[in-house]
Chains A and B, each alone.
Chain A
C-alpha cells in the first residue's frame, strides 16, 4: 500500500506537512498544496458551482470525496509505519537545519517552524478507512465494523498506537462511508531518526511539541483505543451523555437517535488528532543525547494555546524589521499559508476549527492585543451545521475589530459551512494582496526560544 494513498489528504497533519514543506521549498500553498496554481481558477469555479447544487447533492459529493480517498478495509493491514515515516520525510528539502520539531500537529507551530526555517515531523497521521452499512450516529457499530482491521494494522506495526475516532458531530458527512484511524508513533521510526541525523547540525535543537489535550476513550485492545467524539464544537460531556444541543442537532439531521451511545469510557488519553503520546519521548531523548543535540520540550494544554504566542512573535519580528506589523491573518484548521503570511507582513493566528470555542479564543486574543489595521480571516467549511459551529455573523463581528480592513479571504459567507470553494479561493485571494515585503531571512531559534519561554500559557524547557 503506497503511503501517499493511505494517508488522508484532507487532514490537519497532512495539510500542515504540505504547507511547511512547500514553504521550505520556497513555495506557497495553492489548492491546499494538492495541485498547481494554474488550475486554481478552474477549481475555484468548479467548487463554486458545486456550492450552488442542492444541499443533499453537495453533502453526497463531500461524502464521496472522503470515501474516495479512504483505504479499503481489507488493505489496512498492508500499511507499514516505516513507509509512512519515509513518505513524511520525503517532503522536506535535504539540507542542514539548526532546529527541527517532532510531535503534535499544530497550525501555529507550522508558522513557527516556517519562521525559523525548520522541518516538523508529525507524531500522528490520519488513515481514513472505508466501511459501509454503519449509521453515522452509531459509534458502537463503527467500532465493531473496523475492530479487526485495527487489530491487523497494529499487529503489523508494533510501533503504532491506534486512536480510532468517531465524531458524528463534525465529521458527519465524512463518516458516512469511512472511519477515522489516527495512528501515533510511540517509538521513533527509523526514517525519522535517519532524517534528523542527516539534517540536523551539530549542537542543533530538537524540539518536542507536546500538546497535552486528552479526551475520553475506551480501550479496545493493546495500543488500540476508541475515542468518543473529538475537539470541536461539542463538549466531551455532550458526546458522552447528550444534551439539548445534541438532541436538536440529531433531530435536524433526521437521525433516529437523540444522543450517541458510545461504549463506556474507561479513561482519558491523548486526543486522537492533537494530543501528544508521551511514550515517544524516550526515543527522542536517546537520539538527541547520542547526537549531542539540545532537546527542548514545548508543552501546552490545548492546540490553540500556541496561537497567540506565535502571532505575537511574528508581530514583534515584523516590527524589528521596520514593517508596519499591522496585519493579522487568521487561519483555520488545515488552511495555512506561511509563505504569504511572511510575504504580506502578517501575524498569523491559527484557529483549530470554525467553532464557538475557536471564536472565543480569537476574541480574547483581539481583546488583549494592540489593534490591528487589517484582519483577514480564512474559514474552513466541513459541510455540517454541527453543534457549536460559530455562525458567520459572529466571525464578521470579529473582523469589525480591524481599524481599516477586516475581511473574509476566499470565503463565500452565504455558502458557509458548505463553502468548499474556500479550498481554492483562500490562497487565490490572499495571493492578490497588495503591498508585500521581501521574504525575511530565517528567524534565529534563540529568539523564538526566548520569546516563547516567557509566555505563561506555554512551557518550554531545554536540557
Chain B
C-alpha cells in the first residue's frame, strides 16, 4: 500500500509528510533527533489501516526544506503546530519517537488546542543521563538490539540533514528539560517503553508517566528504543487501544 506524500509550506519552508488515510482520528508521528519520518513509515502503514496516520519530516530533516538557522525546540514545535493547521488537521494525537517526544510535549504545552492526546515512545532525555558521553554509551548499548535494516535509513537521514544539523539536534535534545514541562500536559498521554531500551531506563519512563497528570505507561517487552520501527504492528495495536479509551 503506497503512502500519500504531501507538501505544505509552513512559514516559507516546505515540509514533507507521508500519510495513510484510515477511517479513525488523526495520529501524527514526530521523529527523533537527526533522523526523519522514514523510520516511522512501517508504523504509519500499520496504523493507517484504522487511523488517519501521518509521518512528518521536521524542517531541516529528511525531505523537508532546510532553514538557514540551526534548529531550536520551540522552533520545531511551532513548525509542527503550524503544519497541523496547514495540513487541515485541527487537532491530532501526536506520537513522538525519542526526541520527537520532546517536540510533541512542547507542542502539547505551548499549543494545547492542537493536541488531543500524546503517545511518547522512548521519551528522551533522562535527566540522570544528560551528558554527551552517557548518551553515546546508552546509544551504543541500545544499537545492538535495533533492527539492522534501520541503519541505512539512519545514514540517509544524517546525509539529508547534514552533520551540523544532526549534532545541533542532539544538543537541542540534551538541553531541553522535558521533566519541567510534563506536569503541564493536560491531555491523556501514553508512555511506551521498549523493555530493552538502553536509552530510556525503566525508572525514567516511570518518572515521565508520573509527571504527566494523565499519563499511563506501557512496557513492550523485548523491544529496543525504536519501538515504532521494530514492532509497528504491536505498537499500532497499543495506540489504537489507547485512542479508543481516550475517545470513551
Contact = CB atoms under 8 A, between A and B. Distances in A.
A405 B221 contact: no
B10 interface: no
Contact of B203 (A373, A403, A404, A433): A433
A407 interface: yes
Contacts of A434: 203-204, 206-207, 210
B206 A407 contact: yes
B228 interface: no
A155 interface: no
B202 A374 contact: no
B89 interface: no
B141 interface: no
B216 interface: yes
Contacts of B206: 374, 405, 407, 433-434
Contacts of B212: 404
B209 A405 contact: yes
A405 B201 contact: no
Contacts of B76: none
Contacts of B209: 404-405
Interface string B168-212: 000000000000000000000000000000000111101101101
A65 interface: no
Interface string A409-422: 00001100000000
B186 to A, nearest CB: 15
A279 interface: no
Contacts of A406: 217
B216 A403 contact: yes
Interface in A385-432: 403-407, 413-414, 429, 432
Nearest to B195: A413
Interface residues of A, number: 14
A373 to B, nearest CB: 7
B96 interface: no
A434 B215 CA distance: 16
Interface residues of B, number: 15
A402 B203 CA distance: 16
A429 B201 CA distance: 10
A433 to B, nearest CB: 6
B219 interface: yes
Most B-side CB within 10 Å, residue of A373, A374, A407, A429: A407
Interface in A414-463: 414, 429, 432-435
B216 A404 contact: yes
Contacts of A432: 201-203
A413 B216 CA distance: 20
Contact of B217 (A405, A413, A414, A429): A405
A407 B207 contact: no
A92 B54 CA distance: 62
Contacts of A405: 206, 209-210, 216-217
A432 B202 CA distance: 9
Contacts of B221: 413-414
Contacts of A429: 202
A413 B212 CA distance: 27
A81 to B, nearest CB: 45
A404 B201 contact: no
A57 to B, nearest CB: 23
B217 A404 contact: yes
Contacts of B202: 407, 429, 432
Contacts of A403: 216
B207 A404 contact: no
Interface of B: 201-204, 206-207, 209-210, 212, 215-217, 219, 221-222
Which 5 A-B pairs have CB atoms at the shortest separation, nearest pair first?
Answer: A432-B203, A434-B207, A405-B217, A405-B206, A434-B203
25 contacts: A373-B210, A374-B206, A403-B216, A404-B212, A404-B216, A404-B217, A405-B206, A405-B210, A405-B216, A407-B206, A407-B217, A413-B221, A414-B221, A414-B222, A429-B202, A432-B201, A432-B203, A433-B203, A433-B206, A434-B204, A434-B206, A434-B207, A434-B210, A435-B207, A435-B210
